[in-house]
Amino acid sequence: MGSFREQVREFVADLVPPGWRGIGGLEGDAYAEFRTRARAALAERGWVAPAWPVEYGGAGLSPAELVVLVEELSTAGIPFGSDNDAFGIGMLGNTMLRWAKPELRQRFLPRIATGEYVFAQGFSEPGAGSDLASLALRAESDGDRWRLNGQKLWSSGAHLANWMFVLARTNREAAPHKGISMLLVPLDQPGVEIRPIRNITGGTDFNEVFFTDATTDRELVVGEVDHGWAVAMTLLGFERGETALHAPIRFRAELDRLVELVRERGLDTDPDVRRRVAWCHVQVEQLRCHGVRTAAQLIAGEEPGPRAAAFKLLWSEYHRVVTELALDVLGLDALTPSGRPSPNWYHTDDPGAPNSTASWTSVYLNSRAGTIYAGSSQIQRGIVGDLLLGLPKEPKPVH
């Protein structure tokens, strides 16, 4: 393992310029250029999808090697790929390895790894957010095609994607959790309209997507027709759990940056600030322990499963509190943000980011969404109580 860690460190040394502090130290064209170059370098080694088999564009790394790669890249402040790779590789690709037919894997996975196919997620709808089983997007059989009509909402990165994995109702007579299929749908067709939504930070990272007689090939189904709920649960496990390896490293770097800010502002002797920083330290250590446990599970060949819900609940609620502390430390300066804002849709600002007011305020605003996307905190608590603690299910309201 030591030799592989050295390989990764040599890769990092060859990739980054002198004086490297992390990608957060770059702005504008330099930032975009480095991300593109880093992804290409990772893809060349198969490290953009490191655990995938080599024949699909991966590197076939063992779980232990994967842990090393994540640790080294996260510590060095190097992104793992494009923002949409979280959907195409971290969620869809890993799910396809479990559920998709071999010919579907062979067609899609290599093209996802090279970046030819860029995916977005099509799960939530105006009437189906946390209650995902109430989705209404229809996919009706039409010869050798599916014909889709309906809408998806809060689809991050859909404006950058050319494909979407979509949960659609393929059997309207079945019970809510039945009759759902996961389809792969091309977005560059006349029947698809993507409308960016401006969020609280002023960005347009997520979108609403309208399908009006849009089509996709009959065979582009992940898993079995009408049995997509189990496929979706596998994917959500990857969505909530795949961050457990690298997120604690980022949260530690962010907290260290906050401590620097506290000292710069002369608040390091304030007892209330010290108490709140200490609480954040305990939470980050808790998240680190979750990351270690996830690494052990991967090495043992286990999937994230319902424990991913506990991690997602902890990090999203923690991040809301730590960013509130950062704004309290900034005081009135937080009302007039200046400097470089965070370019990220979720989680922390990048390693090496400056302690600018714009960085902290933009991350604070994004942290509010963290308790909602990938399953709200209420949903995560339900999963933890039901599947991990064995508590009785929450009673349904009586109408």
Catalytic residues: 239
Instruction: Answer for the pair 301, 63: CB distance below 8 angstroms, yes or no.
Output: yes
- Return the ∠ at Cα 173 (arms to 170 and 177), rounded to 5°: 65
Tokens of 139: 């996919």
User: What count of other Cβ atoms lies within 10 Å of the Cβ of residue 126?
Assistant: 12
Length of the chain, please? 399
Radius of gyration over alpha carbons of the chain, in Å?
A: 21
Q: Is 17 helix (H, G, I), strand (E, B) or coil?
A: coil
Distances (CA, A) of 275 to 150, 270, 281, 357, 399: 50, 9, 10, 22, 46
Report the C-alpha gap between 147 and 164 in whole angstroms: 15
Q: Is 114 helix (H, G, I), strand (E, B) or coil?
A: helix
Distances (CA, A) of 87 to 83, 142, 314: 8, 28, 22
What single letter denotes the amino acid at residue 101? Answer: K
Tokens of 160: 């950058």
